[in-house]
Amino acid sequence: MSQHLEELVTHGVRHWGRFDERPVAVNPLEEYLGVTRRAKRLRLKEWIGWTLMHPELSSSMILQDAHYLASSELYVRDAATGRLTEHARNAGGGSLRLPEMLYNSAPSIDKKGYRVAYEFGPKGGTHRIQAEVEGTEDQLPVTVDLVLDGSRASAALSVSQPLAPRGAMYTHKIIFPTSGTITVGDHTYVFDGDRDLAILDEHKTFLPYRTTWLWGTFAQFTPAGIVGANFCQRPMQPGTEEESCLWVPTPAGPVAAPLNDVVFTADSDDSLSPWKVRSGDGSLDLTFTPDGRKDVKHQLVLFAIDYWQLYGTYSGTVTAGGASHAVDAVRGVLENMNARL
């Protein structure tokens, strides 16, 4: 059952479950005191990222802070040519100060030749994504100026969940109609607020030392409204809420309908193999066809990351609120994480 909360943690007690909206203040560290709180801070992983939905490109960006290291990444891949432009910067742990109160905040990173800034207005208002990244010897410059319409946003996905083993997750996700431009080199992509979308992905999470997940998302405009999905397969404690959902319009307004028992199945071991993504009740039934892949691998004795993200298109159906919605070659992403953190 969903809840409406002012704070994720009240008087040292954390709330669990699925919420109607993002709590006004989200700080998982409020559950702890003293030495325990300082130790937990080094386990807290925070990020605010975006997946952009536009027919001519695949693009994501993120501000993330692990409190021993902060970083930002941005990429744009042209769907027609396959050209991938990507940039990244590191910063000191804790320096991004990702906000407890998301709305009316302005998190950013500003390093030499690399600036990514989000401006969140009031809930239901107008928000903005801006970036100014200089080109390098092998990467084109990127400029981003996008305006997000909160008055026409999807329903919010807001979930607090214990993870197995010995972890805890909070996530907030929502889809915004998006207008503006992204310029890569001398080519400008124009975003239409009646066609294009940005999916917010905010996390404040204590990840287990051994962390694995499969995750995907997409969204599209339909004549009835925004239709999309967020789906994840990860170790979790039985009987707890999970972060998967279907965003669908209903006569009563947009909803983020819970989605359970999601299974990802690759057609083969090929690195660009298609994937089937289905839920146990059949309300999600998709095939993901990748057209590109990003890999990140690090091996640092006790710590290691083996991560990939595929970008491509989803086709199939989603069913919720008494209606079935066709998904026909809609751009989206699918990723896998296998890490020791």
Q: Domain ranges for the chain, please list them.
A: 9-340
SS3 47: strand
Q: Does the pLDDT at position 2 exceed 70?
A: no
What is the Cα–Cα distance from 272 to 294, expressed in whole angstroms?
A: 11
How confident is the model at residue 335, as a pLDDT? 97
Q: How confident is the model at residue 156 (pLDDT cuts 50, 70, 90)?
A: very high
Quote the DSSP letter at residue 128.
E
- What's the mean per-residue pLDDT of the chain? 94
pLDDT (tens digit per residue) in 96-139: 999 999 999 999 999 999 999 999 999 999 999 999 999 999 99
SS3 21: coil
Q: Does the pLDDT at position 1 exceed 60?
A: no
Q: Does the pLDDT at position 295 exceed 80?
A: yes
pLDDT (tens digit per residue) in 168-219: 999 999 999 999 999 999 999 999 999 999 999 999 999 888 889 999 999 9
- 275-279 and 167-184 strand pairing: unpaired
Q: How confident is the model at residue 237 (pLDDT cuts 50, 70, 90)?
A: confident
Two tokens, residue 2 = 């969903």
What is the Cα–Cα distance from 161 to 202, expressed in whole angstroms?
A: 14
Contact 63, 107 (CB under 8 A): yes
Percent of the chain that is helix, strand, coil (3-state, to 5): 5, 60, 35
How confident is the model at residue 47, as a pLDDT? 97
Percent of the chain with pLDDT over 70: 98
Quote the DSSP letter at residue 67.
S
Q: Does the pLDDT at position 278 exceed 90?
A: yes
How confident is the model at residue 302, as a pLDDT? 65
Q: How confident is the model at residue 309 (pLDDT cuts 50, 70, 90)?
A: very high
pLDDT (tens digit per residue) in 327-337: 999 999 999 99
pTM (predicted TM-score):
0.96
